[in-house]
Chains A and B, each alone.
Chain A
Amino acid sequence: MAQIEFHEVAKRYANGHVALENLNLQIRDREFLVLLGPSGCGKSTTLNMIAGLEEVTEGSLRFDGVEVNAVPAHRRDVAMVFQSYALYPHKNVYENIAFGLRMRRHPAAEIDARVRAAARSLEIEHLLERRPAQLSGGQRQRVALGRAMVRQPSVFLMDEPLSNLDAALRVSMRASIKALHQSMHTTFVYVTHDQAEALTLADRIVVMREGVVQQLGSPDDIYERPANRFVASFLGSPPINFVDGELEADGAGGVRFRSAGASAFTLAVDDDVRTQFASRAGQRVSVGIRAEDVDEHAGDGRCTISGEIRSLLPVGSDQFVGIDVGERPGTQMGAGPGAQPVFFRAGKERRFAVGERVSIPLNRHRLHLFDQTTGTNLRTALS
C-alpha cells in the first residue's frame, strides 16, 4: 500500500546518456500501472528507481509523500519480479521464496507458513525441494512470483515478467497476475513492451519513448485517444494505418482530410474537428485509421476509402484486407518500393479476391488526425 510520486525526476549516466528527463508521475495506491514502450525508452530505469536499484540523478521520488531518493533498495518495502526470474541457483525453491523473509528476520514458523501458502496458491508445492535448474520456464516464473508475493510488499514491481514464456503460457499467466493484483490489494508497477499485455492488465498505462512520457491514461484513453502518432502506432494489432495528406476546406464551412497520394481521396472528419479547424485548411496532417474502424452503415460516401485489394490475411475469427489506396509514403512505416497497403478488418463470411476493387466506409468519428511536423493529435489541441 503505497502511493509513489516522481517529481521532476531525471536520470543521467556518467557517460552522458540521458535515460529519463523531467519525469512527473503519480502512481496511485493499489493501482496497476503499466509502463509501456520500446526498448531504451526509460521504462526499466523508472522501475529500477522505484526499487532503489538506480539512483535518482535529479528531482524527487516519494513514497506516500516521503522522499526516498537516498533509501537503499533493501530498506524499501518493495518486491520485484525479473525478466530472467533471477532465482538463486544455489538455493532450492523453498529457500528462494523464504530468502526475503529470512533477511527481514521473520520468525521461522511464520516464514514456513507464508512460503507454503504462497506455494499452494501458485501450485508449486511439489517443487519446493528442487533447484531452479530443475524447473521449466513456467515453473521458474511461478517461483519468482512466489518470492515476491510472500513478502507482502507495499509495492510490487515487475520487469517484463512474461517475455521469456511461450505464447500460450503468457496468456494464462496474464490472468494469474491480474488475479494476484486483485487479491493482494497493493500497488503494482509493471514494465512491458507488449501492448496487448498492457491493455489487458493495466488500470492506467504510461507510454514512454526516449525517456519522455508520451501519454498517461486508462487503456481506453490510450487506445481510443492517442496523444500523438507514436502512441497510436505503438498500440493495436495490426498497427494503425497512416495516410499522409492535408486539411482541405469542404465548401460547407468546415475542413476534411485530403490524401497526398497520386490518386487523392478525401475523408470527412468528426464534427468538432471539422468546425474547430475550419481555419486550418492547408495544414499538413496524417490520418490514422485503425483496421477495425469500418462502419458498414455509413451510407453517405463522404468517408469512404477505396482501392485494389493487395493482400488477404485470415486470422481465424476475422480476416485483414490490405488495400492499395494509391499512397506512396516516404519513411514513416518503413514502406517498400510499392504502395503501402491500408489494412481493414472484415468478417470472414465476406469473400474477397486479390485484385478486386473495394470501397470501405469508415467511421469518421474514430479517425485520428495528427499534425505531420509535431505528430500530436489535433484533438489534444481541442481540449
Chain B
Amino acid sequence: MMSSSLFARRMALLAASVLLLAYVLGPVAWLLSSALQREADITSIPPHWIPHPPTLASFRAIVQAGLGTLPADAAFVPSTAQYLLPALRNSLVVACAVVVLNLAVSVPAAYAMAKIRYVGRNLSVYFMLATRVIPDIALVVPFFLFVRKLGLLDNVGALIITYLAVTVPFSVFMLLSYFEGLPDELDKAARVDGCSRFGALVRVFLPLALPALVAVILFTFLTSWNEFLFALMFTQTAASQTVPIVVASFTSDFTTSFSFINAAGVVAIVPPVAIAVLFERYIVSGLTAGAVKG
C-alpha cells in the first residue's frame, strides 16, 4: 500500500508534468486547431478548442494563392499569400543545400582535427569556435556588403553561403568531440587494413558517428529553416524569400487573418517535424550500437 506522502509526491510530480506539457504544447495545439477553423470561430469568445466544424479552407487558400487560382472575392487572405509556396520551395532548397554542403566540409575537417597531428591544430579549433562568439547582428552589415559584391542579393545562394558560415563551426565542434571519443587505434587499424585516410573516415568513422551526424543534420536543417535576420536582409522577392519572412509579412497586412497565418504555420512546421521523426530512430539505434570497450 502506497503511503500517503508518497502518493502526494507522485500527484505533485504528475501535476507539474501536465502543467509543463500544457505550457509547451498548448500553443502548438492552438495552432493546429485554429488552422482548421473559420476566421469567425477563431475570434469567438469563449474560444473553441475543437474546430466546429473543421474546415480546410485556409489550406485550400494557400494552394490556390500559390497557383494563382484564388477567387477574387476570397476573404481573410493576406496580400502576400501567393509568396508562401515559393518560399517553402526556397526554404527547402536552402536547408537541404546547407545540410549537404555543411557535412561535406565539417566531416573531413572534424576528422582531420581529431585524428591528424599537425602544427596549429589547437589554434585552428579555437579560432573556428571564436567566430561563433560574434553575435549575428554584428555580422549582418559585413555579410550584406560581401553578398552585394558577389551579386547574390535576392538569391538563395546568399543564404546558403551565410548559413554555412554560421553552422559549420558548431558542426565541426560537435563532430570533433565525437571523433575524439573514438579510439585512435581504430583509425590505425583501418589504415593498416588498407584504407586511405579518407577511406578510414568513410568506412569506419562515419558509420560509428551516425548519432553525431544526425545531430548535425538536425541542427543545420533547423537553423537554416528558422533563420530570420539574414534572410530578411538578403532577400527581397519571391525569388529568394524563405518561409519565416513570408509568414512574418502576413502580420503586417491591413487586416490580420489568423486562420490563414495559422495554416501557414502548420505548413512551416511540417518539414522540421518530418526530419526529426525520420532521424529519431537513427539517433536511438546509433546510441545502442556496440561501442569499443578496452
Contact = CB atoms under 8 A, between A and B. Distances in A.
Between B117, B119, B185, B290, the greatest number of chain A beta carbons within 10 A of the residue's beta carbon is seen for B290
A13 B121 CA distance: 14
A131 B290 contact: yes
Contact of B290 (A53, A74, A99, A132): A132
A352 B100 CA distance: 78
A126 interface: no
B208 interface: yes
B204 interface: yes
B289 A90 contact: yes
Q: Determine the main DSSP class of B at the interface with A.
A: loop
B209 to A, nearest CB: 10
A48 B185 CA distance: 11
B89 interface: no
Contact of B204 (A53, A88, A100, A134): A88
Nearest to B204: A88
B194 A84 contact: no
A133 B290 contact: yes
Contact of A53 (B186, B191, B194): B191
A159 to B, nearest CB: 8
Contacts of B185: 82-84, 86
Given A82-B185, A131-B290, A90 B196 contact: no
Given A14-B117, A51-B192, A74-B196, A84 B292 contact: yes
B193 A100 contact: yes
A80 interface: yes
B193 A90 contact: no
Contacts of A83: 185
B195 A14 contact: no
B195 A82 contact: no
Given A74-B195, A103-B195, A80 B290 contact: no
Interface in B79-117: 117
A89 B290 contact: yes
B53 interface: no
A80 B195 contact: no
Contacts of A72: 191, 196
Given A74-B191, A80-B189, A147-B193, A90 B207 contact: yes
Task: List 8 A-B pairs, minimum CB-CB distance, nearest first.
Answer: A133-B290, A103-B194, A86-B185, A100-B193, A86-B189, A73-B191, A82-B185, A131-B290
Interface of A: 13-14, 48, 51-53, 72-74, 78-80, 82-84, 86-90, 99-100, 103-104, 131-134, 147, 151, 157, 164
25 contacts: A14-B118, A52-B192, A53-B188, A74-B194, A74-B196, A74-B199, A78-B192, A80-B188, A83-B185, A86-B183, A86-B185, A86-B186, A88-B189, A89-B290, A90-B207, A90-B289, A100-B193, A100-B194, A103-B194, A131-B289, A132-B290, A132-B292, A133-B291, A133-B293, A147-B193
